[in-house]
Structure 1
Amino acid sequence: MGENQVQYEETNGPESPLWKLFLVSSIAAGMQFGWALQLSLLTPYVRLLGIPHQWSSIIWLCGPMYGMVVQLIVGFMSDRLVSRFGRRKPFIVTGTTLICLAVLLIGFAADIGYKMGDNFNLKTKQMAVAFFVTGFRILDIAGYMVMGPARALLADLSRHNHRKMRIANAFFSFFMAVGNILGYTVGSYNKLYKLLPFTLTKECDTYCANLKICLLINIIILIVLVGIALNVVPEPHFTKNTDHEDPFVLQVKLTFRNLGRPMWLLFLVTALNWIAWFPFLLFDTDWVGKEIYGGDPTSKDTSMGKIYDNGLRVGSLGLMLNSGVLGLMSLAIDPLSKWLGGARKLWGVVNFVLAAALALTALVTKVAEKARKTAPPYAPPDHGAKAGVLAIFAAMGIPLAVTFSIPFALASIFSSESGSGHGISQGVLNLAIVIPQIFVPLISGPWDQLFGGGNLPAFLLGAVVAFIDGILVLTVLPPPSSNT
């Protein structure tokens, strides 16, 4: 155990049964439900409020920038918090409360802005935008306050049992898939406002009213899941070693030093993994609309815009298939890990699956382009190209399940072996995600233009990075010590 690290009072206490890990993992469904709504519904809502396009890009970019700082601080503090409520639960409860506040500010921004004097004849509703942005910033911070401590709590409950850490994070990945499916399904229903007619107002049309209902459902689901998990599952008791309490800055320095070489190698391969993932995650439906269907949302030809929208709908169907495979694969991670000889080997293998799937986007695109040359104007792609697209989306669910689980399990295992805190290890791993999340959008545009535009150059770069990352995972990343 490293210097000044938190220690459990009952180091060899009983491990938590799997059903408790399952309950805590269910928190991910409530969180992912909200993120699915953001991806599917918030962009049109932003247009309704009149937020300029350049501002919307900044709004989305600020989230990962906050994550670089917030989760490190939350992870560090939660490793050291001593309270009768536990060390993770106060952060999870506070984060959940802030999420509920943020969601209300976002959903009712138009109504609040109107009450405070917004002129809805103007394109930009200034007060509504101010409340929306405030809510979105709170949501960014609150999300990190829940997700990091929730994963750290799973590691605490696993009590150094490596297999249970893998299973717990596989459960977490499974519930992320459940949240995605529920969020996309609820978000696609356009008559929810009839359940609560008062949500439809002069300043909030049917689309806006549907968004309000979706966000209210998100609040209910999140409160129920968090409430059940935290009330039923007690945190392990622990005590802080304060024999040689150091100044805060020195504590931070010691914490990072105690992370150990395996954790920093995990940081490297995780960052590369997300560099491979983000081009597809950011532009997957755009790829279907533009390259597969041949549409153009900026064209003055309205038919080209409709073709693009048809492609987006097929891409949305692909995301549903992706989430379904993600959920099924999450349940298979533990047996597959044992069959292959360890979670690290499974991660390396599925990186090659990711590389192959990204490379196949070029083949499917060429098939669609070739078919369009002989097809009537504005015709949809043939069934072969559409089937290829859906197959790629579905196949990507396999490596995505591993990406959502095994790196986090390894972070818990490595921090357990080195004696560093589970919270700070999750914060460091989060840096390996948010840095690529900022980096990839900045280089994707220039990189794509360098090779003639479109999304394929970034996808193919991702394929190369995924292949290299698979090799590094299998050869450079050290295996954890044997522990069940």
Structure 2
Amino acid sequence: MKLPEGNRRRERDKRPATREPQPIRPATRVPLKKLLRVSSIACGIQFGWALQLSLLTPYVQELGIPHAWSSIIWLCGPISGFFVQPLVGHMSDRCKSRFGRRRPFIVAGACSIIVSVLVVGHSADIGWLFGDRGSTKVGAITAFVLGFWLLDGANNMTQGPCRALLADLTGKDHRRTRVANAYFSFFMAVGNILGFATGSYSGWFKIFPFTVTSACDPNCANLKSAFYLDVIFIIFTTYISITAANEEPLNLNHQLSEERHGQSSHETQEAFFWELFGTFRYLPGPVWIVLLVTALNWIGWFPFLMFDTDWMGREIYRGEPNEGKNYDFGVRMGAFGLMLNSLFLGITSVFMEKLCRKLGAGVVWGISSIIMSLCFASMLVITAIVKNMNIEDDYQPPTGVVVASLIVFAILGIPLAITYSVPYALVSARIESLGLGQGLSMGVLNLAIVVPQILVSLGSGPWDQLFGGGNAPSFYVAAIAAFSSGLIAILAIPRSRTDQLKVHQ
């Protein structure tokens, strides 16, 4: 008996038999205005991320956790990403809510972000209620860690369905997919700029004087006030995004068929874990290359994201947490540098789609990774210059050193824009033929991001201590990993047909 065409194709290509249930989609091409509105939630999410990246490593040290252990706190991000994002992606692929597949998870994630930032912002006050009075604030650290873990889980819960929703809307239009990811990257840049600008300003406690308490000094009150602003921002952008999507429920015929077969929620979750890890044996070579480049890329990025402002406070301003003003001033200057970084990120996002069409996504990604490596090497040179200076009691770093550091931070915004966009577009286009849901596809890519982050979180503190402390040893590893990822991207990622598509009329 002759097999139907779909079965013959599946047998020939050895694709997974489980395919994504398809919602009802409009035949017309999705307007760019709609993609812009849906992407806007990235601005609210990244506003909180910016505060987290710029202020929370210094803050956790002020609570009493040593620098060597501060990277362990960041372990929660990759661990939650390892489980939360693939699980939420899979569940959203099969969600039967009348509000759509992705939007219920986006709203739930946004609500979780609000709860978590309020816990983190009030961690000192919570610790005070539980008796914190010494230099090491055990209650505050406990509240902070719980809020921090919830925040990372909530961010992963929100970002995955957001990117999957954009992939749903663009469908097989790969140019629209790249545009949608560029929009997402652009709004991440806007959120970063606003978040880092908020983090670099030291007078929020004067605008919100009620944030200063017996347990919370002006530095703590600034963090708390910034998170209040984050709550307002995430509510606003979430509303804009979910009202623009107009998702349709899953096809009712699929739902009835599934109910007839008696598939339970427990069976669905078992299928999820089987699918997620079983998927790897079906991945073609180009997808494996993308995952390898992504992993090396994030070995480069994660030390910088953990220690950027701490590097400015320690290595450039030669300060220590809770000892004088140099460290706090350096942290705020680092936040200003990250704001410049986000400005370059936003500008790059605007031109990214044209660059990818002209040069190919792999080449653009590779060049950006080499630029990233050179920036990390420059940070090591700057660190060595400052270390050889004579340090006096009233030490202030030379203007040239500060300017050079800010320039490095700004230039790093270019490869960061590529990292936030190109890998997602490449995986979305290349994994589509396997018949996986976009949510599960993003989960597969996410594994290539979170596993390196786990390794860096566990190893960077002991690695830094092994070579005398500070942040320089981690940046050595970051520079080598980034350079390696750049070479592999340029030499091994083929320029696909979708990279060469012309602008549609």
Same fold (TM over 0.5): yes
TM-score by length of 2: 0.83
- Per-residue CA deviation, residues 70-123 of structure 1 (Å, 9 max, x unaligned), is 111111111111221111111111111122222233333444555xx5335455
Kept in 2: contact 1:78–1:87 (CA 8 A): yes
Question: How far does residue 403 in structure 1 lie from its aligned partner after superposition?
Answer: 0.5
Please name the residue that 2:301 is paired with.
277
Please name the residue that 2:7 is paired with.
none
Question: How far does residue 166 in structure 1 lie from its aligned partner after superposition?
Answer: 1.1
Count residues in correspondence: 474
Please name the residue that 1:224 is paired with.
236
1:423 corresponds to 2:439: yes
1:27 corresponds to 2:41: yes
Runs (5+) with no aligned partner, structure 1: none
Please name the residue that 2:5 is paired with.
none
Please name the residue that 2:274 is paired with.
253
Structure 1 residues 254, 313: closer, same or farther in 2, change over 3 A?
closer
Please name the residue that 2:337 is paired with.
318
Question: How far does residue 451 in structure 1 lie from its aligned partner after superposition?
Answer: 5.6
Give the CA RMSD over aligned residues: 3.2
The equivalent position to 1:389 in structure 2, one of 405, 417, 433, is 405
1:332 corresponds to 2:339: no
Please name the residue that 1:72 is paired with.
86
Partner SS state of residue 119, structure 1? coil
Structure 1 residues 111, 177: closer, same or farther in 2, change over 3 A?
same
Structure 1 residues 119, 282: closer, same or farther in 2, change over 3 A?
closer
Pairing 1:321-400 to 2, within 5 Å after superposition: 321-340=340-359, 342-369=360-387, 372=389, 379-400=395-416
Question: How far does residue 140 in structure 1 lie from its aligned partner after superposition?
Answer: 2.4
- Per-residue CA deviation, residues 284-339 of structure 1 (Å, 9 max, x unaligned), is 3344444445x25289xx6xx65555544443332221111111111110111122
The answer to which of 65-74 and 260-269 deviates more is 260-269
Please name the residue that 1:171 is paired with.
183
Distance between the aligned counterparts of 1:152 and 1:187, measured in 2?
A: 30
The percent identity for this pair of structures is: 47
The answer to which of 139-148 and 383-392 deviates more is 383-392
- Per-residue CA deviation, residues 195-253 of structure 1 (Å, 9 max, x unaligned), is 44444444444444433332221111111111121112212554385768674434543
Distance between the aligned counterparts of 1:124 and 1:460, measured in 2?
A: 31
Distance between the aligned counterparts of 2:397 and 2:207, measured in 1?
A: 38
- Per-residue CA deviation, residues 17-39 of structure 1 (Å, 9 max, x unaligned), is 11111111111111111122223
Please name the residue that 2:157 is paired with.
145
Aligned-partner residue type, residue 474 of structure 1: I
The equivalent position to 2:493 in structure 1, one of 467, 474, 477, is 477
Please name the residue that 1:214 is paired with.
226
Structure 1 residues 191, 382: closer, same or farther in 2, change over 3 A?
closer
Pairing 1:34-113 to 2, within 5 Å after superposition: 34-43=48-57, 46=60, 58-112=72-126
TM-score by length of 1: 0.86
Kept in 1: contact 2:61–2:70 (CA 8 A): no
The answer to which of 308-317 and 331-340 deviates more is 308-317
- Per-residue CA deviation, residues 430-468 of structure 1 (Å, 9 max, x unaligned), is 222222212124333454566665544432332222222
Question: How far does residue 395 in structure 1 lie from its aligned partner after superposition?
Answer: 1.4
Question: How far does residue 414 in structure 1 lie from its aligned partner after superposition?
Answer: 2.2
Partner SS state of residue 6, structure 1? coil
Kept in 1: contact 2:53–2:305 (CA 8 A): no
Distance between the aligned counterparts of 1:208 and 1:417, measured in 2?
A: 50
Distance between the aligned counterparts of 2:358 and 2:414, measured in 1?
A: 16
Kept in 1: contact 2:365–2:422 (CA 8 A): yes
1:160 corresponds to 2:172: yes
Partner SS state of residue 433, structure 1? helix
Kept in 1: contact 2:204–2:225 (CA 8 A): yes
- Per-residue CA deviation, residues 405-436 of structure 1 (Å, 9 max, x unaligned), is 11111122223232211111111222222222
The equivalent position to 2:449 in structure 1, one of 424, 433, 440, is 433
- Per-residue CA deviation, residues 364-416 of structure 1 (Å, 9 max, x unaligned), is 4444456x26x977554444433322222121111111001111111222232
The answer to which of 104-113 and 45-54 deviates more is 45-54
The answer to which of 243-252 and 190-199 deviates more is 243-252
Kept in 1: contact 2:379–2:408 (CA 8 A): yes
